[in-house]
Amino acid sequence: MLSIDLTGKRALVAGVADDKGYGWAILRALAEAGASVCVGTWPPTMRIFTKTLERGKLDMSLPSGGEIRLEKIYPLDAVYDRDEDVPDEVREDKRYVELSNYSIQGVADSLESDFGSPCLDVLVHSLANGPEVQKALIDTSRAGYLAALSASAYSLVSMVQRFGPLMRPGGAVVSLSYLAAERVIPGYGGGMSSAKSALEGDTRTLAFEAGRRFGIRVNTISAGPLASRAAKAIGTIERMVEYYEQNAALPEANTADEVGQAAAFLCSPLASGITGETLHVDKGYHAMGMQAETQLSDD
């Protein structure tokens, strides 16, 4: 019987702040497959996340029984490549002042200090932010546009650049994209559609470059919408989910666990021949060319 077995593998899942989004679902699937899991969480949510964990308010259960055990929790702000890039006003912010090594290089250094090198087999990029996401692209400022690309796309390049040397040959990187990279999604603005397009393009190039340099694979998942806490910043996320339920090839919305399981597959030896790929996990919505009308689907 074929099975996903990540026993003895270590994963870093970047972009986890609660147990409701895709990042947590991927974390849970990796843990279910036997991987030890470290987490990178945004400094402004770090205290809330750790307190919620300490109070037993996160769903740590695994489908097969047992519980998720997080090996390490690192503060990570992926808009900063190195600690010296962090501006003074951020360093002195009350949400950051007690933390250190939260740049991408800082977390890579902490990981190497904790586990040696090489020490990593799976890297998950579950990061996206667009400060002007509710603005139409045509109304987006240059600063808002570049902020979206920095946090949501370049962060993947920087992470592969800095974590790649810590990864064992045969390792895997997976990120999360969205159909707005390919098609117009009204309401998904602020440069986020451009950021997802860049993310998918960079996935292909990084698959070649990181494959040759580090011997690792790089893929992305184009997931359907999920009404997570982070996605609610879009403002229309519930309507987007409802539209997918009505118009996808399979008339339902995908679940977080379905995306998590797809990510675990891409990070496993079963997907050893897959790299540079954008895998759609959206119940086939991406394949549709027109709205699914009731009278057509009933024929």
Which candidate in 102, 178, 244, 285 is catalytic? 178
Which candidate in 188, 243, 244, 285 is catalytic? 188
- Residue the block writes with tokens 């400060």: 131
Report the amino acid identity of residue 291. Q
Q: Torsion angle, CA of 71/75/78/84, rounded to 10 degrees?
A: -120
Strands of the chain, DSSP E: 10-14, 36-41, 70-75, 120-125, 167-177, 217-223, 278-281
Tokens standing for 259? 């995306």
Is 102 an active-site residue? no
- Strands of the sheet with 10-14, listed across from one edge: 70-75, 36-41, 10-14, 120-125, 167-177, 217-223, 278-281
How far, in whole angstroms, is CA 188 from its chain's centroid? 17
Report the amino acid identity of residue 138. I
What's 154's DSSP letter?
Answer: I
Is 188 an active-site residue? yes
Report the amino acid identity of residue 229. R
Of 78, 60, 192, 179, whose CA–CA distance to 130 is shortest? 192
Of 150, 87, 77, 129, whose CA–CA distance to 107 is shortest? 77
CA distance readout (Å), 17 to 73, 194, 230, 286: 11, 24, 9, 28
Query: Where do the H-state alpha helices sit in 33-83?
Result: 43-54
Q: Which residues are catalytic?
A: 178, 188
